Structure 1
Amino acid sequence: MLGKIMRLSVEDAIAQVSAPVLDRLQKELQWPSDISVYDGEGMSIIETSRRRSPFVVNREVLGYKPSILMSAMGRAYLAYCDERRLAVILEASRKRGGKEAELASNIKHIDSMLSEIREKGYAERAPDITTLHSDEEVDLDAIAVPIIVMGDVQASLNLVWMKSAYSEEGVKERFYLSLKNASEELANIFQKNHIY
């Protein structure tokens, strides 16, 4: 019970200190962002700027658990977590069955995907991922970066946008620079406030 209370308070602290950074990022890029943490079972969104975004993009996401192997946030987390935790997460995914079990069983694919994420610095969502139900059917895209404190990944930060809004090449790389700066700011805030 104490562990659960402690985890909730850490998640609350992360959400509280992250909100102003998410707000600034949303004002800069217009599109919303989310913070997610690994809760022992998968990724869980604990803070978002979607409610304040001028764009309607699945605003009620708090508590939503995106796929750890198909979402940008889950992939960013996996690419930077330690090998022991990665092995535990992949084993749990294999036991759950379904599409995630299939993905988790393909070790060559996982290794290649995670290496590519580390090389680029950001993760992309799987092209065939199913998003949250929305009143308006929109085709969304997202990238995510890890928030690393003292060498350990603490959370993931994403940016979500409508694919139809951009046709030019390089939009992900442009968004990545702002997202990376925000993740570094958050890492410094987490460390300063002993949230790790």
Structure 2
Amino acid sequence: MAPPRKHRDALLGSAVTLFRKQGYAATGLAEILEASGAPKGSLYHYFPGGKAEIGAEAVQRAGETVAATLRTLAAEASSPGELLERYLTLLAGWMRKSGYRDGCPITTTLLETVPEHGAIRDAGQAAFAAWAEIIADSARRSGIAPKRAASLARFAIAALEGALIQCRVNGDDTPLKEAAIELRALFDGSRTGRR
């Protein structure tokens, strides 16, 4: 009899949390099993490729979660600058709440596994591309030229990832707050043709 699907979701959810907090290499399969509450047999039933397969799917799931948040904020925001300011403000709150132990839900894993694990790399590329497209779409709708919108969106992701790392290292959310202000100014300035 196959384990219930809920075990698969619990395993993935636990992997996302553990990879985000302590990294891919420092997280063992036994730890994922224990955190998930799933029976041992369910891990290899759902993830016959072992830890690398869980890593790729965890990056995909975390990337989809971020994309959903960005889409919601994009629908509510009046500009791409506001979208980014609101998202980085959320990140700052999450970082504070975790005591600066959390980081980006995918970057910690990607830094430890790429280029050795192609499936994890591919999941990370897809996640970053999806995030950039949501931001670029918001920028295009606000009047920013398509090529500039795409470039600014990729830059925004680079800035927020760097700010997350600095927050974690410094134990302070100032880098995210500063990035939010600067990104909003950059995107708003690009809307009016000043940059």
TM-score of the aligned structures, taking structure 2 as reference length:
0.29
- Larger helix proportion of the pair: 2
TM-score of the aligned structures, taking structure 1 as reference length:
0.29
- Larger strand proportion of the pair: 1
